[in-house]
Structure 1
Amino acid sequence: MNRLIRDARGVTIVEFAIILPAMLTLICGTVEMGHMILARQVLEGAVVDAARKATASMETGEADRRAIMIASITSSMASFPRAPGQAIDIQTRVYADFSSAYPETYTDTNGNNRFDAGEPYVDRNRNGQWDNATAKTGTLGGPGDVVSYTARYPKRLLFGFVGRFVGRANGVLPLSATTVVRNEAVVRS
């Protein structure tokens, strides 16, 4: 009996079996994080490139612009699996100029994530009041307008079980990227 208690054979395999799940989760999580960072960077470039292609001519209609952007982003993101049954979503907003495309910065003194009267702000246009981003109506914009494109890409996680640890049990990591471009100043006739 004493000899059986002192026998240490097999201890290594038991220790390995105990630590293996944590080690695999850590390794897979690191790979997933790296893949997500790379996918985010590629998406940023893809959105800029797609917006450039889509706004190359004012004669291109809204449906065609959207199709050009989706095709371009899909091509650029081919190495990053998209979640089954989910599509790339593109949201557009039109502004008169670049200064109206971004809200004036402010200090959120009460921490409610919105501007309230009395909070300090940077008055970029020097009109004496805080201005939010002021979008125009429409999604295509006219000659010289500034258009903001936001693309949302539903990236499928490489390791589905990692999703449970990062709050993505459905296995989808929504990535988004935004770019702002100016339409051509004139329409060719």
Structure 2
Amino acid sequence: MTKRNAHTCRLLRQLRRDTSGVTLVEFAFVGPVLILMIMGLFDIAHSQYTLSVLQGSMQKAGRDLTVEGGAVNQTTIDTFFSNQVKAVMPNGATITIQKEAFSDFNDVGQAEDFTDTNGDGICNANEPYIDTNNNGSWSASKGRTGLGSARDAVLYTATVSYSRLFPMQGLAGLPSTVILKASSVLRNQPYGVQAGKGTTRRNCP
């Protein structure tokens, strides 16, 4: 064995026994996964907390809007609701509030009734329908925009969107924007006569 080969063998044996720097190498494998998990946990925790605040604030706003005079104070109540939610949001978060009034709880989430003469599941070809919300055209929802009248069931829906707090979406394959949605259905107090649902028969185009 030449001196050079012997020297190489001794060097390899020394390297095999040398454990200095192993922790750094191990962390290079484990570190990214650990950091991703921590950021993911914080992201999930923040989303759940935000959703909880969103639902709680919505219930409070809904109760305030269902009483007599709620429509007059609608802007003030909506502003208070938005401020409550934005307090736990990152800068640049957007909040969208929708209100739909229904004559009955059973109408919530239901499309206007029509006679499907051609069996295609679509209101078309001059098929007759009942214009329940009186908007002049067939709608996929029987609801009327706004708070409605006394005794109406009102569907409150709030949608919040904001950029993720941590830059981990690329590693985890998640969208860069978080979208949270909450809804609640409450009936207006009987402070007057209910307007009732529309019964006008029209035809789809």
* Structure 2 counterpart of 1:179: 184
Alignment partner of 1:72 out of 53, 73, 81 = 81
The one-letter code matched in structure 2 to 1:23 is: L
Once residues 158 and 23 of structure 1 are traced to their aligned partners in structure 2, the CA distance between those partners, rounded to angstroms, is 17
Contact 1:82 1:153 in 2 (8 A): no
Q: TM-score, normalised by structure 2?
A: 0.65
8 Å CA contact 1:95, 1:134 repeated in 2: yes
Please identify runs of 4+ aligned residues in structure 1 that moved more than 3 A: none
Name the TM-score, length of structure 1 as normaliser: 0.70
Long gaps (5+) in structure 1: 105-115, 117-131
Check whether the contact 1:53–1:69 (CA below 8 A) recurs between aligned residues: no
2:150 is aligned with 1:143: yes
Q: Could you say if the C-alpha distance between residues 166 and 68 of structure 1 is closer, same or farther in structure 2, counting changes exceeding 3 Å?
A: farther
Task: Describe the shift of the 1:148–1:33 C-alpha distance in structure 2 as closer, same or farther (beyond 3 A).
Answer: same
Conservation of the 8 A alpha-carbon contact between 1:70 and 1:88: no
1:68 & 1:31 partners in 2: Cα distance? 31
CA distance in 2: counterparts of 1:157 and 1:16, whole angstroms: 26
User: For the structure 1 residues 34 and 180, does the alpha-carbon distance in structure 2 shift closer, same or farther, using more than 3 Å as the test?
Assistant: same
Correspondence list, 1:1-189, <5 A: 1=11, 2-58=13-69, 60-61=71-72, 64-76=73-85, 78=87, 80-84=88-92, 86-103=93-110, 134-136=142-144, 138-159=145-166, 161-164=167-170, 165-169=172-176, 172-187=177-192
Assess if the C-alpha contact under 8 Å between 1:101 and 1:134 holds in 2.
yes
Output the CA distance in 2 between the equivalents of 1:55 and 1:69. Answer: 13
In percent, how many aligned pairs have the same letter? 27
Aligned to 2:134: none
> 1 or 2, which has the higher strand percentage?
2
Alpha-carbon distance in 2 for matches of 1:133, 1:89: 19
Q: Residue 93 of structure 1 contacts residue 148 of structure 1 at CA under 8 Å; is this kept in 2? A: yes
